[in-house]
Amino acid sequence: MRGFHFSIDRGGTFTDVFAEVPDGSGGSRFNRFPPSGRLERCLTGEMVEIRQELDEARLREELQASEWGGVLSRGILSLAVVLKHAAIYPAHEQQVGRIARELGFTQVSLSHEVMPMVKMVPRGFTAAADAYLTPHIRRYLADFTAGFDAGLGRDVQLLFMQSDGGLSPVDHFSGHKAILSGPAGGYVGYALTTRWAGMDAGKLQAIGFDMGGTSTDVSRFAGTYEHVFETTTAGAPQLDINTVAAGGGSRLLFRGGLFAVGPESVGAHPGPVCYKKGGQLAITDANLQLGRILPDFFPKIFGPGENEPLDAEGTAAAFAAVTGEVNAFERSSSSPSISGVDDVAMGFIRVANEAMCRPIRALTQMRGYDAAAHVLACFGGAGGQHACAIATALGMSTIFVHRFACIRSAKATVALEAGDRLRIMTPGGGGFGPPGADEAVAAGLKRRRVGAVTDDGAAKRVANKGSVEEYRSRQETV
């Protein structure tokens, strides 16, 4: 038997300290607590026995100056609180939260508030994700709202897309709701706008193909939105979106005789080689080498001074170097084939395409659906460069590209109301929803339309005209 060494590098610490609130008792599970306690009615209406109160003094000590150095003394200001029975009796979690805020914690995520469910483990995961992400979300919101006057939020409704596809007011938006908020917007967007003349919207089966800079998100819509309630990212409800690490910025490597695409990303800076900032080969470079990206149609914002076009010559030189490695390997393995630069670029593209086909097969064929019966709804900045190859590999005959495909996620919020978890669930024949939906949403647009910010910063309402025609005009498609 041969052994091997296995290690995982997470690239950083997610949680710095775990603290367990002691119950102050010992013995077996049957005699740990006294036989009687205080009775209280829990959230379900049933009576529960409080066998031991929270030891507030001990908790304060643990959070400030325990034997492992304290939490606050280490500069940790974000806390996730998870107690086993908080889903039905949240009083103890509320006590812990009050004490933590008194001690100076700036972010306290209580599991019963973040994710009110009985299961402790997914509830705890969600609370931890919320405690980790919410401070970053708040900083972003503070920077965003700083550019507006006090009327923002009072005179103008400010909403953010959530991972479940609904909209959240700015005051209720938090980290665990934002994990897949961008891809969720794209999901809702293509579900509402994949329409063309003569089609039967009631029989639509579509695969969302959202290829961006670092990853590709795929999802399935067949009249209803598919949700998941427990995931590896958090226990909060999310639209069922699968992500694969293959995007325009995914790094290309030739190692061990194999073409590898990702999961590493070259990032936006320095970016791919064609950005002319000393970057590394990426899928964007392969598409440029194959003529799928035309530098003349891109702005001159590249290079150290951000005033140069895409560097096609640099990309060709980088692929020539990789081609030399490929041919050297083939000669060493007694292979007679000699690859050209375009052959190598296409090889990387084929590997990337196959990586993106796998999650689509998991959503269709692995669940008993015929992938060929679906429409490939393509969007995202890089989706159009790969849509035809993906559709061919899966046997699809129809590709739908919306005229606003590159901003599909942002356009999705048009028909949604705050707190409304995808109320319009079934596409209608002539509009986005069931009979009367167009008129209802048009009335909402009439109430909520606002104008641009004036020179003195005061947001003023303009143009109360809102009509079904205006609403339907947002469906314009190619």
Both 210 and 235 in a single domain?
Answer: yes
Among 144-158, 236-250, 251-265, top mean pLDDT goes to: 251-265
Higher pLDDT among residues 296 and 22, named by residue: 296
**pLDDT number for residue 348:** 93
Q: Is the separation of the CB atoms in 135 and 167 below 8 Å?
A: no
Whether the model clears a pTM of 0.75, i.e. scores above it, the answer is no
**pLDDT number for residue 252:** 92
**pLDDT number for residue 139:** 86
Q: pLDDT class for 192, splitting at 50, 70, 90?
A: confident
Both 445 and 335 in a single domain?
Answer: yes
Q: Please determine, for residue 315, whether its predicted confidence score (pLDDT) is greater than 90.
A: yes
Residue 18 within any structural domain of the chain: no
Boundaries of domain holding 98: 38-137
Bridge partners of 259, per DSSP, are 254
> Exposed, middle or buried: residue 326 (CB in 10 Å: 0-12, 13-18, 19+)?
buried
Residue 206 within any structural domain of the chain: yes
Both 130 and 152 in a single domain?
Answer: no
**pLDDT number for residue 410:** 65
Higher pLDDT among residues 40 and 448, named by residue: 40
**Number of other residues whose CB lies within 10 A of the CB of residue 34:** 9
Average pLDDT (138-148) is 81
**pLDDT number for residue 272:** 92
Both 118 and 170 in a single domain?
Answer: no
**pLDDT number for residue 18:** 59
**pLDDT number for residue 19:** 60
Q: pLDDT tens digits, residue range 219-246? A: 898 888 887 776 666 666 788 888 888 8
Both 277 and 390 in a single domain?
Answer: yes
Both 181 and 241 in a single domain?
Answer: yes
Q: Considering its fold, how many domains does the chain have in total?
A: 2
Q: pLDDT tens digits, residue range 80-129? A: 889 888 888 888 888 888 888 888 888 888 888 888 888 888 888 888 88
Both 256 and 344 in a single domain?
Answer: yes
Residue 17 within any structural domain of the chain: no
Both 153 and 131 in a single domain?
Answer: no
Higher pLDDT among residues 390 and 448, named by residue: 390
Residue type, position 262, single letter: G
Q: pLDDT class for 476, splitting at 50, 70, 90?
A: very low
Q: Please determine, for residue 453, whether its predicted confidence score (pLDDT) is greater than 70.
A: no
**pLDDT number for residue 317:** 93
Q: How many CA atoms lie within 13 A of 298 on its CB side?
A: 19
Both 85 and 196 in a single domain?
Answer: no
Task: Examine the fold and report which residue of 102, 137, 172 is the final residue of a domain before the chain moves on.
Answer: 137
Q: Is the separation of the CB atoms in 316 and 289 below 8 Å?
A: yes
Both 133 and 152 in a single domain?
Answer: no
* Concatenated DSSP letters of 375-407: EEEEESSSGGGTHHHHHHHHT---EEE-TTGGG
Task: Examine the fold and report which residue of 85, 117, 137 is the final residue of a domain before the chain moves on.
Answer: 137
Which has the closest alpha carbon to 269: 279, 257, 281, 259? 279
Q: pLDDT class for 408, splitting at 50, 70, 90?
A: low
Average pLDDT (280-304) is 90
Both 325 and 474 in a single domain?
Answer: yes
Task: Examine the fold and report which residue of 94, 118, 137 is the final residue of a domain before the chain moves on.
Answer: 137
